[in-house]
Structure 1
């Protein structure tokens, strides 16, 4: 699978609300996830390694959300073994706080799997 094909599949799955399946189908078990340094102030680990830990982080974040009001994901931009997308969503947290998030995500691809993800927000 080319980087373009994998990126297209990622975007298709995100837009269809199939995020949990992305971990099963597109991610390497050795995935490395990097969040910006200021994420630590929000209780988010800035470096997460391995599919089990990445899944746990995602699940913990989803459990804080009471309602989703919409999301978007742009078409991917490809450069060699990397692709990037702009994406975001608006949610209401269980504490009642409603927020809109926008970010740029850069993914590294190797052997037909996503091996790294870096988020900028």
Structure 2
């Protein structure tokens, strides 16, 4: 699968809310997931390897009280890299409803995502 095909499939699955399925299908076993440096306490940290990435997603989901909606942009592809913009309208447990947005950058090698990195404003 080339980078554009990986990007389109990831967007398709993420728009359905099937994030773990996207990871199972499209990520390399030793992929890394990188958060913003200095992310606030309680934020998900970096993860290396699929099992750690799945667990990171499960921990995030455990913090969510209600997911009200979200969007995933079309991918922007450049060589072995692509990016998408994602937004979420979410209420976390014990907190008020929040609008979140981020740029997600993915690196593809041999048809699999080998890294994802998230860029967002920290409140």
Residue 118 of structure 1 is matched in structure 2 by 117
* Matches of 2:86 and 2:3, distance apart in 1: 18
Aligned partner of 1:18 in structure 2 is 18
Which aligned runs of 4 or more in structure 1 are off by greater than 2 angstroms? 40-44
How far did residue 42 of structure 1 move? Answer: 3.5
Distance 2:112 2:21 in 1: 13
What 5-or-longer segments of structure 1 have no aligned partner?
none
Separation (CA, whole Å) in 1 of partners of 2:9 and 2:33:
19
TM-score by length of 2: 0.92
- Secondary structure at 1:23 match in 2: helix
CA–CA distance in structure 1, aligned partners of residues 6 and 38 of structure 2:
29
State the TM-score, normalizing by the size of structure 1. Answer: 0.93
Following superposition, the deviation at residue 40 of structure 1 comes to 4.2
Structure 2, unpaired ranges of 5+: none
